Amino acid sequence: MKITKEKLEIDSDIEGSYKITVQYNTKNIDLRLDPDDVTIEETLTLANKIMVNFEIYEKKAMNVIVRDFLDNYNENWADEENGFPKLDEPAFRNNIELKAINFLSKDSINIFYKENGMFGNHSLIAQSFDGENFDNTTMFG
C-alpha cells in the first residue's frame, strides 16, 4: 500500500503532523508522520521507502532492540517470583510486539515495540537517524 497525503489524517496530538493506520502481518500499526523542517511529501517518501521493504527494516530494528535490551532485562528486570523469568533470545523476541512507527522529517524513524510487561510496560524504541540503519534504542513511558 502506498501512503499518499490524501489518505492521511491530521494528527491533533502533534501540531503539523499526520497519522494513518496500516495493516502489517494481520496487525494494525499506527504511523505518524511529522515533516518538521521539510515538506510532507519528503516525509511520505521516507515512509513509503520503509513500508515497501518493511520486513527488512523491521528485522534491523528488532535486532537492535534485542542487542540493547535482552541482557538488560535478564540482569535488571527479570523476577522469577513475579512471573518474569530470565529469557533466551527467542523467548525475548516473542515478548516484543510492533506497536507504532513515527517518521520525522526526511530521515528519522522511531519504531515502537510493546514489551509485554518485561520493563514495567515501557515502550522499547528502535531509532534510525539516517533513514536506513537502526543503530540506537531508547525506552519510553
- CA 39, 135, 60, 141 dihedral sign is negative
Alpha helix locations (H) across the chain?
40-52, 54-72, 89-94
28: domain range? 5-140
C-alpha cell at 35: 515533516
Q: Work out how many domains the chain is built from and give that number.
A: 1
Q: What is the pLDDT of residues 33-43, one digit of tens each?
A: 999 889 999 99
Asked if 125 and 111 count as a contact pair (C-beta separation under 8 A), the reply is yes
Question: For the whole model, what pTM was predicted?
Answer: 0.93
**pLDDT band at residue 14 under the 50/70/90 scheme:** confident
First CA to last CA distance, the chain: 31
Strands 108-114 and 123-128: antiparallel
Q: What is the pLDDT of residues 74-97, one digit of tens each?
A: 999 999 888 889 999 999 999 999
